[in-house]
Amino acid sequence: MKKTLALLMMATTTVAMAGPEPTVLMSEVKTVGYLASDSPNALVPGEAWEGVKLVRLEPGKCERIVHSNLHFVPAGDAEKPIFDESRTMVTCPA
């Protein structure tokens, strides 16, 4: 019983610490698919994006995220996306 209660408390704490996902207010991106993982039993696709997103982190707090220079490098039998990222705090639109 104590072990179950401890596990439940840990799970509740983990969920409470994870904040809500940012809300995407604007997205002007190009999404590119790639092979994220290649194992003997499964191919796992991934997606990377290049462009601009405006996200609301919390009420009154927004961020402009820019991904540029997207390219892929070999990672074993799969690929890894490489890009330049810049993040800027901006005024949220009304």
What tokens appear for 12 in the block?
Answer: 């509740």
Tens digits of residue pLDDT in 15-66 = 455 667 899 999 999 999 999 998 888 899 999 999 999 999 999 999 999 9
Pairing of strands 61-75, 78-90: antiparallel
Model's pTM, two decimal places?
Answer: 0.72
**Total structural domains in the chain?**
1
For residue 15, being part of any structural domain is answered with: no
For 7-35, letters b (16+ CB in 10 Å) and e give eeeeeeeeeeeeeeebeeeeeebeeeeee
- Domain residues for the domain of 58 are 21-90
| 14 domain-assigned | no
CA–CA distance, 27 with 68 (Å, rounded to integer): 14
